[in-house]
Amino acid sequence: MTDPRRILLVNGPNLNLLGTREPAIYGSDTLADVEALVTRTAAETGFEVRAVQSNHEGVLLDAIHAAREDCAGIVINAGGLTHTSVILRDALAGVALPVAEVHISNVYEREQFRHHSYIADLAAVHAVGEGIAGYATATRRLIAVITGQADG
């Protein structure tokens, strides 16, 4: 049974390095800043957030699977797994929750291999190239989908 007032925030490999990893591309905000922003944004409409970050695909899969029991949707920045992981895509499809896909940089202005997302066709919401502000955009839009205020 899903809890209509909780979302799962998933951050994939290397996102633990935010703030120090390639700041010209990803900025100087940290993963803690991202998690705080999403928590504040969700709280605006009475939602809570459970956050997970891992450099291990199986940990992310387990968190996504668990979300079907107590979350109403998923905000995900899968990092490099966006472009490589069919099993991550299958996990998101399998839990059948609305998904918001986030990318801090504009992946469509970067290397060609970053232009394909295995998640894109599942996502009701996309936030690309907005820096960490994209997480707030994605959270608001996802909550609108969850609450029936927007199509998903």
Q: What is the pLDDT of residues 22-39, one digit of tens each?
A: 788 888 899 999 999 999
* 3-class state of residue 143 by DSSP: helix
Angle at 112 between CA 110 and CA 117, to 5 degrees: 90
**From 26, 56, 126, 135, active-site residue:** 26
**From 65, 103, 118, 126, active-site residue:** 103
What CATH architecture applies to the domain 6-146? 3-Layer(aba) Sandwich (3.40)
Distance from C-alpha of 128 to C-alpha of 103, rounded to nearest angstrom: 5
Mean pLDDT of 49-60: 98
Q: Look at the chain and count its residues.
A: 152
Determine whether 26 is an active site residue. yes
- Does 114 appear as a known binding residue? yes
* 3-class state of residue 125 by DSSP: strand
The domain limits of the chain are 6-146
- Does 85 appear as a known binding residue? no
pLDDT value of residue 3: 54
- Does 77 appear as a known binding residue? yes
pLDDT value of residue 152: 64
Mean pLDDT of 54-70: 97
Is residue 128 scored above 70 in pLDDT? yes
Determine whether 118 is an active site residue. no
- Does 7 appear as a known binding residue? no
pLDDT value of residue 114: 67
pTM for the structure as a whole: 0.93
- Which residues are 102's β-sheet partners? 127
pLDDT band with cut points at 50, 70 and 90 for residue 1: very low
